[in-house]
């Protein structure tokens, strides 16, 4: 149960407190609407660059486009950090990166069970290709042999806030087991690949800096085995990301400077003190850059007293899938007056599934139909995982640039959903 009715030190608290601005936004663009803060986006990428640059001379940041593929969001990050690359896992994500003016040579394509058509798109675009399996290499060589290739390592263990976002270990569908990773590189070398990197992404939404030190140790152990087999040094080593954010008031932010300092020590143990000669450290952050920059502005469509107390919103699991999919928690804040009596509610949407719950046993101030709420920390894996179940159109997306409201994606219409049906 979530007991607090007011957020403590949330980066968007100032925006959430601006009732008139949010009422204006709702009137102008409707609800539900994804809302993002430009200043928070710029802050997050700046802090990440600062933290990694203290400990590493050679690094590359690949923004994980799957977290939020809005071209305007990517462009803001790119404008703040010109060397930004993108981690893409579909042709659509490559398209978004290119439209955001990210060079394809600064993009890595990380697929899994990808089709030949997917690989062809990435190859022809000039993106670096990170292969999930030796069979992926076999499919790729029917198209062409790139000069540079990396493989995704499954280190035999993973991490994550929920079972569904643990992407390493024996139950993971991703990557090549550490026991077979050398075989993959030998095969790639025999096919004519000249340059190599190594990638690993073991899980998501982790707040413990020590976890990443442990994963880095596993990665570098495999990296040295690969280097010994190839007779050459890897050019890049990616630790993925999985950098979490606090979804609850009581959680503490991930200490990025400590995280990279610890990983620096791991690299020293394998490559010596001169970090200019180390392989380039690559990271693929998504959540930590965009999650706390966004919220869903939604309107109460109904309240109900049954065996439980319910608040019904115009944003349900079709708008924000994470709670139904993972049991993920998101703070929900009433817009406007938050004082007075509170009740314990299940907060739900309009979808005809009993799993359509944004939050369970959530203490909220008494709230009435037509009042506004904000579902916090929805900037990552929010709109990008939204869908059309019950034939509900997807929402609009709006950027707050200081107090200026900028529409960065129009609301989908019912007609849009049926556009390809030729009726």
DSSP string across 312-354: EES--TTT--HHHHH-----EEESS---S-EEEEEEE-SSSST
pLDDT of residue 331: 96
Q: What is the dihedral of CA 156, 160, 164, 167, to 10 degrees?
A: -30
Catalytic residues: 352
- For the chain, percent of residues with pLDDT exceeding 70: 93
pLDDT digits 0-9 by tens, 125-143: 999 999 999 899 999 999 9
Going through 256-317 in order, the beta strands assigned E by DSSP cover: 280-283, 294-305, 309-313
Whether the pLDDT of residue 163 is over 90: the answer is no
> Is 3.30.365.10 the CATH classification of the domain at 38-289?
no
**8 A C-beta contact, residue 197 and residue 237:** yes
pLDDT given at position 165:
43
Q: Where in the chain is the domain with CATH 3.20.20.10?
A: 38-289
For the segment 307-315, the average pLDDT, to the nearest whole number, is 96
Polymer length in residues for the chain: 423
184 vs 187: CA distance, rounded Å:
5
Q: Which CATH architecture has domain 13-37+292-421?
A: Beta Barrel (2.40)
Q: State pLDDT tens for residues 35-62.
A: 999 999 999 999 999 999 999 999 999 9
pLDDT at 214: 87
Q: Which residues pair with 33 in a beta bridge?
A: 297, 396
Supply the pLDDT for residue 171: 62
The mean of the pLDDT values for the chain is 92
Whether the CB-CB separation of 205 and 159 falls below 8 Å is answered with no
Residues of the chain with CATH 2.40.37.10: 13-37+292-421
């Amino acid at each position: 149960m979530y007991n607090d009715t007011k957020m403590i030190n949330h980066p968007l608290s100032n925006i959430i407190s601006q009732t008139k601005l949010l009422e204006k936004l709702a009137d102008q663009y409707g609800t539900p609407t994804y809302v993002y803060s430009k200043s928070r986006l710029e802050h997050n990428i700046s802090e990440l660059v600062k933290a990694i640059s203290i400990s590493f001379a050679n690094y590359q940041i690949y923004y994980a486009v799957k977290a939020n593929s809005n071209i305007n969001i990517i462009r803001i990050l790119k404008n703040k950090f010109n060397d930004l690359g993108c981690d893409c896992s579909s042709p659509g994500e490559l398209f978004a990166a290119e439209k955001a003016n990210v060079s394809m040579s600064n993009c890595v394509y990380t697929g899994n069970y990808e089709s030949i058509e997917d690989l062809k798109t990435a190859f022809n675009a000039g993106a670096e290709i990170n292969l999930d399996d030796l069979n992926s290499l076999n499919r790729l060589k029917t198209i062409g042999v790139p000069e540079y290739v990396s493989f995704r390592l499954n280190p035999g263990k993973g991490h994550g806030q929920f079972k569904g976002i643990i992407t390493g270990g024996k139950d993971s569908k991703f990557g090549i087991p550490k026991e077979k990773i050398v075989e993959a590189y030998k095969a790639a070398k025999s096919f004519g690949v000249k340059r190599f990197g190594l990638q690993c992404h073991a899980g998501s939404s982790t707040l413990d800096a020590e976890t990443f030190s442990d994963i880095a140790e596993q990665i570098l152990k495999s990296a040295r085995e690969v280097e010994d087999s190839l007779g050459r040094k890897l050019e890049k080593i990616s630790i993925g990301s999985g950098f979490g954010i606090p979804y609850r008031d009581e959680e503490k932010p991930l200490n990025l400077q400590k995280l990279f300092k610890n990983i620096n020590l791991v690299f020293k143990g394998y490559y010596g003190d001169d970090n200019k000669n180390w392989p380039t450290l690559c990271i693929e952050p998504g959540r930590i850059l965009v999650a706390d920059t966004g919220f869903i502005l939604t309107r109460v469509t109904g309240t109900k007293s049954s065996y439980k107390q319910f608040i019904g919103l115009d944003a349900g699991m079709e708008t924000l899938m994470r709670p139904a999919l993972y049991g993920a928690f998101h703070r929900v804040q009433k817009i406007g007056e938050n004082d007075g009596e509170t009740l314990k509610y299940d907060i739900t949407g309009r979808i005809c599934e009993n799993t359509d719950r944004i939050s369970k046993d959530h203490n909220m101030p008494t709230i009435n139909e037509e009042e506004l709420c904000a579902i916090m920390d929805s900037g990552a894996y929010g709109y990008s995982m939204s869908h059309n179940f019950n034939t509900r159109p997807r929402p609009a997306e709006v950027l707050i640039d200081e107090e200026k409201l900028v529409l960065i994606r129009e609301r989908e219409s019912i007609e849009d959903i049926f556009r390809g049906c030729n009726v």
